[in-house]
Structure 1
Amino acid sequence: MYNIAVCEDEERDLEIVKQLLELYGARHEWKYALKTYDTAKNFIRDMERMKSIPDIVFLDIYLREGNGVEVAKEMRANGFANPIVFLTASREYALEAYNVDAAQYLVKPLEQKRFFSILDRLFLKTEEEREQWMVLRVGGEFRRIPLDKVVYCEAQRNYQHLCMEDGSKYKVRMTMIELFSYLEKRSEFVKVGSAYIFNLAFIESMNSKTVTFGTGKTIHLPRGSYSSLKEEYFQYYCGE
C-alpha cells in the first residue's frame, strides 16, 4: 500500500491527477491511499499530525493560499525526505524546485506517458527505500529510521517505542498494527504477544521466560509466546 498526497486547488487538474493515478494503479495492480488538499494551509496542518507519511507528494506551485515551493521548503526543513513532484503551468520556479530536491517538475497539461514514466521511477526507488528505511514522525520531525538497526519495538498505550542497536530510542504515536505494516515485509521482524515486535537477527539467546539480544538487553516474554517465537527463530535461521 502506498500513501499519496496531492495538493492542488484547481478542480479540473486534480481530477486529471486522480484519473492518472487510478489508471496507473489498475495497470500495475498496486494499491494506494489518496489524500487531496485544496490549500497549502490544510496540507501543512495535516502533515503535522498525520501518522502515515506520504510516499509521494504531488504539489501545485501556484496555489490560491500559499506557494508550493515554500510549502516544500517547510517540509524539507522538518525532515520530509520522500519524493515531491511539482505541478505547474509555468517553468518559472524550476530552479527553486531543484533547490528543494524535487523529484520532478511537471508542466501542465499533464501527459499520461510522462506521468507514468515518472511513477515507474519513483515507485522503484520507494520500494528500494522500504527495504532499508521507514519514515516516521518523531518529536515533531520526520525521521528516516534504518530497519536493520531496530532491535525491538515495545507498545505502551498509544505509543510505540523503537529501541535501536546503539541504545537510542524513538517514541512514535501509532498502533502496533500500523508500525508492523512497515516491518512485515522483512522476515526478521515478528510480533511477540500484543506488546512487542522483535528483530530475530539480534536475538542472542532465549528460554521459556526471557529473550536476550546482542545488545545485552533482556526482556521477559509474554505468557504463551515462547513456542511460536522459537519456531519463527529457527525458520528464520534455518529456512525450515
Structure 2
Amino acid sequence: MIQVILVDDERPALEELEYMLEKYENIEVVGTYTDPLIALKEIKRKKPQVVFLDISMPEIDGFSLAKEIIKLNFKVNIVFVTAFDEYAISAFEINAVDYILKPLCEERLDSTINRIRDNIKQDAIKINSIQEVVRQLKKPLIRIPVWKKDRIILLDPKEILYCTVEGGETYVVTEKEKYFISDTLSHLEEELEGFFRCHRSFLINTEYIDEIIPWFNNTYAVKMKNRDEEIPVSRRHSKVLKEMFHIK
C-alpha cells in the first residue's frame, strides 16, 4: 500500500484530491492537513511515500515545506499542486517530482500516479531532483521552521543573532531562545541575507554585532546583542570583518 499525505490550506481542495485518489488501488491517504507545520510534524512521524503539496500557502509555502521534508532524509515522492502556471512549470519535469495544475484533471492525475508507482517499484526516487526544483524556484526566506523539542516554530530570520554547530547539529540563537534546525551552516549561509560566516562553526547576523574584540594573531571575536559569549572570527575571515566595518 502506498501511503500518501495531502497538504493544502484550502479544505475543499483537500477533499477533492482525497476523493479523486480513492479510485486508485494500493493508494492510501493517511493524512490531510491545512496547517503546514502540523503536516511537517506528521510527515516526520508517518514517513509517507508520497506528499502532495499546495504551492501557495500562508506562512510557509510549498517550496519551503518541501525543503524541510527533504531534510528528514527518507525516500519520498513530492508532488506540487498549484492553481497558477507562473512557477516555471517546466522545472517540475524532473524524475521523482511532478506537478498538477488546479482544477484537477483525472487524466493528469493518472499520469502522476503511474510515475509514482514506477519510482517506488524501481526504488529509484532521486531526492536531489527535488532539491533541484526547489533551487530553481528559490524565493527569499520570510520565516524558517525551527524545532523546540517536538514543537515546530516559524522564526523570522531577523530575530536570529547567530547560527552555530554543536556536536554535529545546527542551532539558531535568538536573544531569548536556542532552537534546533534541520539544516547546515552552508545552506543557511546561502539563504540568509545579512549574515556573515565568521568561523566554520558560526554564522552571525551582522545587524546584531555589539562589540568587536581584538584577539591574538590578528584575529577577532565578536559579542552579539544581549549575549555574553564571545564568538571567534577565524584568521581567514578577520580580514573580511575589518573591511566590513572599516577597521584599520
TM-score scaled by length of structure 2: 0.47
Using the size of structure 1 for normalisation, the TM-score is 0.48
